[in-house]
A and B are shown apart, each in its own frame.
Chain A
Amino acid sequence: MNRRAWLLVAVALPILVLAGWVWHQERQLARGTPVILDITGYDPRDLLSGHYLRYRVDWGVEPCIGQPDRPVWICLRPRGKAAFDGPPPGCRLFVRARCRNGRVEAGIERYYVPESKAADLDRRLRTQGMRLEIAVTPDGRAAIRRLLPAPARPSPP
C-alpha cells in the first residue's frame, strides 16, 4: 500500500469509529426495553459537551453502600433486588452496573441539556425531582431515552 492509501486509512478510521459508535447507541436505544426511573440531582457543566444534569437514580435498592469497587446487577422487574455475581434469581429485566465510591454507576448518570434551559431544569430537578426513561438491553446495558417531569402530586384536600 502506498503512502496516499495509508493516509486514506488514517483519515477514514476516526470517521468510521465515530459512525460505529453512533450506530451502536442507536441500536441499543431501539432494541432496549423502556423503563422509567425516579431521579433527584443537580447541574454541573462539561467543557466538551456542555451543561448536564447529574442525579441519583432511585433503583429501589441500594446495594453499593459500604461495598468496594465491583460489578453489580440490579433487578428492575421485579424491583428491589440486586446481586454481585450475576443477575438476581427470578429477575426478568436487570441493569449491569458498577459500585463506585458507595454509589451505583450504570452509565446513565448524566443528562445533557440545552444551555438556555439548564437553570430551569436544574431548579425543577432539585425541587420536584424528575423521571428518566431508559432503554435496557437483554444483557443489562442501559441507555437514556428522555427526561420526563415528575408525576403530578395530588393536591391536599
Chain B
Amino acid sequence: MITPYLARRLQRWEAAGLIDGTTREKILAWETEHGRGWATRGLLALGALILGVGLISLVAANWERIPPGLKLGADFLLLTVLAGAILRARPDGGARETLIFLFQLVCLASIGLIAQIYHLSGAPWRALALWSVIMLPVTLFARSSAPWSAWSSGLLAALGLWLNETAGGLSSTSLLLNGWLLAEGALLLHLLGLRLDHRPMAAAFGIWALALGLALTFGIDLLLHDGRKLPRLVPWLPVGYLLSLAVLALAAGRRLLRPGGLLILTLLLVMVGGVVTVLALDTNPPLLGSHRHGLAGALFSIGVLGLGLALSGLQGWRGPFRVFLVFLGLRIYGIYLEAFGGLAATGAGLVISGLVLIAVVLLMRRIQARFGRRS
C-alpha cells in the first residue's frame, strides 16, 4: 500500500536527483505488491478487540442458565479452535496476527470465567500476571503491534497493581513507584526489543516508556511543588538504581544509542533517580526549601524534557521528539502562569525558560551538525 507520505518522499528524492524516475516507479510497484496492508490489519485488530471485549462482557454477565461445566467446555473448545487456526495460518499473513490477538483476549476471558465459576478472590494483579506469563510464548511469535501492545499493557498493569498493593494502597508513594520503576522497566524492554531487532516489541514498550516517563516527570514536578516527602520509597531505591544500571548496560552493550546518546540517557536517569532519592530521604536541600518548591519542580521538568528532547533528536526518533517538544512548551508556559505571583518571580521564570529553550535548540543544532543530519 502506498501512503501519501511515501509518495511525497519519493517525489522529493527524485527532484533532488537521489533516485531516477525508473527507480521511483520500481519502488512504487514493489510497495504496491508487498505493502503491509496496515489499514486492513488495523481494522482486523479492532474487530478482534471488539469481539474479545464482547466475550469478556458475556463472561462477566454470569448467565446462571448455562451450567458451569458447559461454560468451561465451550471456553476450552474456543481456545482449542483458535490455537488450531493459529497453527494453520500463514506465518507472514495478517490473519495469524489477528488470531494471536484474539487468542490473548479469550485467554484473559477464560481466567475471568474460571475465577467466576470457582469464586476465587485473588487480587487483580495475580490474574494479569498469570495471563502475562502464559501468553509470553505465543506473543513472541507475533510480528505486529496489536498483540505486543496488549501483552505489554497486561504485564505493566500487573506490575503496577502489585507495586500499588505492596506499597500499601493508592498513594503518592505508590504512584511515584509505578512511574519510576515501570518507566525504567518499559525502557529496558524497549532496548531489549531493539537489541533483538524485534520492532513490535520495541515499539510497544517504547510507547509505554514515553508515557510513563512523562507521567513520572510531571508527578515529581507536582510533589516538589508541594514540598512532599515520601520516606516509604527508601526500600525501593536499590531496585530503581539497579534498573537504571541495567538500562545503561543494555544501551551500551551493543551500541543501541548513537555516541552522546548514552551520556544523555545517563544524565536523565541520574537526574530522575537523584530527585526520587531526595524525595525519599527527606534531605531538604536548599533548592527545595519553602517557597522555592515550585521553581525546583519546574526546573526538574524542563531539565528532563530537555534531555528527552536532545536524546530523541540525536537518535532520530521523530515521534518522541515532537512529544517532548510539545510538553516542554507547555511546561514553560506553565512557569509563566505560576510565576505571575510577583514581578521578580515572573522575570526569573521567563529568563530561565528562555535560556533553557535557546540552550536546547543550540545543543540540537550542534548535535545535528556534528552528525551531518539536517531536519
Write the residues of chain A forming the contact surface with B, with a CB cutoff of 8 angstroms: 3-4, 6-15, 17-19, 21-22, 25, 29, 46-52, 105, 107-117, 143-144
Contact = CB atoms under 8 A, between A and B. Distances in A.
- Per DSSP, chain A at the interface is helix
A22 B83 contact: no
A26 B359 CA distance: 66
Given A7-B141, A10-B137, A11-B138, A25 B61 contact: no
B134 A144 contact: no
Contacts of A111: 119
A107 B60 contact: no
Interface string B82-101: 11001100010000000000
Contact of B60 (A18, A49, A108, A110): A49
Interface in B58-84: 59-64, 72, 76, 79-80, 82-83
A81 B63 CA distance: 39
Contact of B134 (A17, A29, A109, A117): A17
B59 A50 contact: yes
Contacts of B80: 15
Given A11-B83, A107-B122, A144-B119, A49 B61 contact: no
Contacts of B62: 49-51, 112-115
A47 B64 CA distance: 18
Nearest to A106: B121
B114 A115 contact: no
A11 B80 CA distance: 9
Contact of A46 (B60, B137, B140): B60
Interface in B273-298: none
A110 B119 contact: yes
User: Sorted from nearest, which 10 A-B pairs have the closest CB atoms?
Assistant: A50-B60, A10-B137, A48-B112, A110-B121, A11-B83, A144-B119, A49-B116, A14-B134, A114-B64, A10-B138
A22 B87 contact: no
Contact of A107 (B108, B121, B130, B141): B121
A6 B139 CA distance: 12
B265 interface: no
Contacts of B112: 46, 48-50
Given A113-B62, A144-B119, A18 B127 contact: no
Given A18-B79, A111-B119, A13 B114 contact: no
Given A7-B86, A13-B134, A50-B116, A18 B110 contact: yes
A21 B112 CA distance: 12
Given A14-B138, A111-B119, A4 B107 contact: no
Contacts of B60: 46-51, 115
A115 B87 contact: no
A5 B62 CA distance: 36
A50 B61 contact: yes
Nearest to B103: A11
Contacts of B186: none
Given A47-B60, A50-B62, A12 B83 contact: yes
Contacts of B140: 10
A50 B76 CA distance: 20
A84 to B, nearest CB: 21
